[in-house]
């Protein structure tokens, strides 16, 4: 069992309750990463579902949970011939922290019937670069779990030269070797620095809502993660992420609505 699999374990208490333990090793600036938290919740949802794959997850981030014990509460909304629909809530101290609506189904693994190309080409991995290791006191423990190698212009903000567009792109894989799966994809869609950094914004950017769709099971190897956004306005921004696998398949899509940092 990998560290990630262990950190996302969900232990069945009964058909509507799972015990989980939120791992402090997945924090960004001291707050647990939203993608990691979705992965934990989806372990419970998939375990309780007659279907194998979380094809759609809409998450509303109410509050930031603390590391430590928590529960996932499930409510089955529909069990159909093709899909099951579940409301899942992350609870800590009898308070709801994250609400999700999840659709599970079993993806057949057939070929794609039509697919568009990524809007922007990604350079080869050899031309991509890591950000420096964060300082221990920064609370960026998440960075020790995942390896992001960035398309260089999209981290120009780090050296004071933002690209001037809402964008963020990287090759992604786990530091501990592990083939990608739907739970890792839940994390990959929320694993890059906010796309607004490239457009000149700074500071903590809390996600309010994030919806992602699993489109195919990823092949082994690094993932390509393409992030962009369309609008910063009234303190809000959107971030759209596509994840492509090593065989050139679009495997996940997400969009989140987040608050602009005041940093």
Q: Where on the chain is the footprint of a second copy (CB under 8 A)? A: 55-56, 58, 60, 62-63, 77-78, 82-83, 85, 87, 96, 99-101, 103, 105, 107-116, 119, 165-166, 196, 199-201, 208-209, 211, 213, 215-216, 228-236, 238, 242, 250, 253, 255, 257, 259-260
Provide the terminal-to-terminal Cα distance of the chain, rounded to the nearest Å: 39
Strand order in the sheet with 167-174: 10-14, 17-22, 68-79, 83-92, 95-105, 53-61, 207-214, 250-259, 236-244, 223-228, 167-174, 146-150
Q: Which residues does residue 86 pair with via DSSP β-bridges, in sequence order?
A: 76, 102
Q: From residue 40, give the alpha-carbon distance in Å to each of 14, 79, 100, 107, 111.
A: 17, 22, 12, 21, 29
Closest to 228 in 3D by CA, of 70, 139, 76, 118: 118
Which CB, 180 or 229, lies closer to a second copy? 229
Closest approach of a second copy to the CB of residue 7, in Å: 26
Which CB, 147 or 209, lies closer to a second copy? 209
DSSP state at residue 93: T
Which CB, 77 or 125, lies closer to a second copy? 77
Closest approach of a second copy to the CB of residue 39, in Å: 18
For residues 38 and 185, the answer to whether their CB atoms sit within 8 Å is no
Which CB, 32 or 260, lies closer to a second copy? 260
Closest approach of a second copy to the CB of residue 55, in Å: 7
Which CB, 69 or 235, lies closer to a second copy? 235
Closest approach of a second copy to the CB of residue 214, in Å: 9
Closest approach of a second copy to the CB of residue 9, in Å: 26
């Amino acid at each position: 069992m990998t560290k990630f699999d262990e950190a996302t374990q969900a232990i069945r208490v009964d058909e509507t309750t799972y015990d989980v333990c939120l791992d402090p090793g997945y924090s960004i600036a001291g707050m647990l990463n939203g993608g990691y938290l979705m992965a934990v919740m989806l372990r419970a949802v998939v375990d309780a579902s007659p279907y194998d794959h979380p094809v759609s997850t809409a998450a509303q981030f109410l509050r930031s949970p603390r590391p430590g014990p928590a529960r996932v509460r499930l409510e089955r909304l529909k069990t159909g011939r093709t899909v099951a629909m579940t409301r899942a809530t992350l609870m800590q101290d009898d308070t709801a922290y994250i609400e999700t609506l999840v659709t599970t189904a079993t993806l057949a693994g057939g070929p794609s019937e039509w697919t568009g190309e990524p809007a922007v080409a990604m350079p080869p991995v050899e031309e991509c670069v890591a950000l420096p290791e964060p300082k221990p006191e920064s609370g960026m423990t998440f960075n020790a779990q995942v390896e992001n190698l960035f398309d260089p212009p999209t981290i120009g903000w780090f050296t004071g030269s933002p690209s001037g567009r809402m964008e963020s792109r990287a090759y992604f894989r786990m530091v501990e070797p592990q083939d990608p799966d739907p739970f890792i994809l839940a994390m990959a869609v929320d694993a890059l620095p906010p796309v607004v950094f490239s457009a000149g914004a700074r500071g903590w950017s809390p996600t309010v809502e994030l919806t992602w769709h699993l489109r195919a099971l990823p092949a082994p190897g690094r993932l390509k993660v393409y992030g962009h956004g369309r609008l910063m306005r009234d303190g809000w921004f959107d971030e759209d992420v596509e994840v492509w696998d090593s065989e050139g398949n679009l495997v996940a899509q997400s969009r989140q609505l987040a608050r602009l940092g005041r940093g």
